[in-house]
Amino acid sequence: MSFLEMIDVLNEELIREGKDPIAFDHDCREGICGMCSMYINGRPHGPWEANTTCQLHMRAYKDGDVIVVEPWRANAFHVIKDLVVDRSAFDRIIQAGGYVSANTGSPVDANAIPIEKDKADAAFAAAACIGCGACVAACKNSSAMLFLSAKVAHLSQLPQGVPERKSRVLNMVAQMDKEGFGACTNTGACEAVCPKEISISNIAKLNLEYLSAGVTV
């Protein structure tokens, strides 16, 4: 069974015993939504590489193994109950500028705006971020730079994101600092545990975007 199915079984036993079940977050159970965020034996999302908790299966462990499960711990991520953590700080960072303004109406044809393949591929790779928070949980400073850099790099490399390019990065970095995330010291722990293998090179792109916007605004 999957790791979350194991928790389901455990909760059924706890309920039969008249005890409170363990509260945990989940939604898609397909490695897409990022809700199933938790430390498993000290590692975000467990021992498997490029994997979310809901994609982890109990065959990763041997009979009799001790499994320690904990919630994310960061100043910006408040524990609500048991394994449920408030990650709405990420939502507020997105609201500060992680979007593209467009007029309403019929959608534009996908091929209407030509995009170079290398830029399209890089933008697509950055857009794979699911906002689970593993990068923050793994970082000794609880930095959100990998998450933020993925969002900025995604939009800055597409022509649709150019009009708000400067205000986007300035506003999103300001919101990140306001939320209480720590600074990046380039240890690479974030990249090592990211379930979608977001590259740390995006942080360099974020820094370039931020410096460029600060000079020209």
Biggest distance spanned by C-alpha atoms of the chain:
64
Please compute the mean of the pLDDT values over residues 112-141 and round it to a whole number. 95
Q: Is the pLDDT of residue 217 over 60?
A: no
CA 55 from centre of chain:
16
Mean pLDDT, the chain, whole residue set: 95
Position 108 confidence tier, pLDDT thresholds 50, 70, 90: confident
Percent of the chain with pLDDT over 90: 90
User: DSSP alpha helices (H): ranges in 17-98?
Assistant: 88-97
Tell me if residue 81 falls in helix, strand or coil: strand
Report CA torsion sign: 196, 34, 56, 192: positive
What pLDDT, in 10s, does the model give residues 165-178?
Answer: 999 999 999 999 99
Position 119 confidence tier, pLDDT thresholds 50, 70, 90: very high
b/e per residue 64-101 (b: at least 16 CB within 10 A): eeeeebebbebebbeeeebbbbebebbeebeebbbeee
Q: Which domains does the chain have, with CATH numbers?
A: 3-70 (3.10.20.30), 88-216 (1.10.1060.10)
What pLDDT, in 10s, does the model give residues 19-66?
Answer: 999 999 999 999 999 999 999 999 999 999 999 999 999 999 999 999
What is d(CA 185, CA 77) in angstroms, rounded to the nearest whole number? Answer: 20
Q: What is the pTM of this model?
A: 0.93
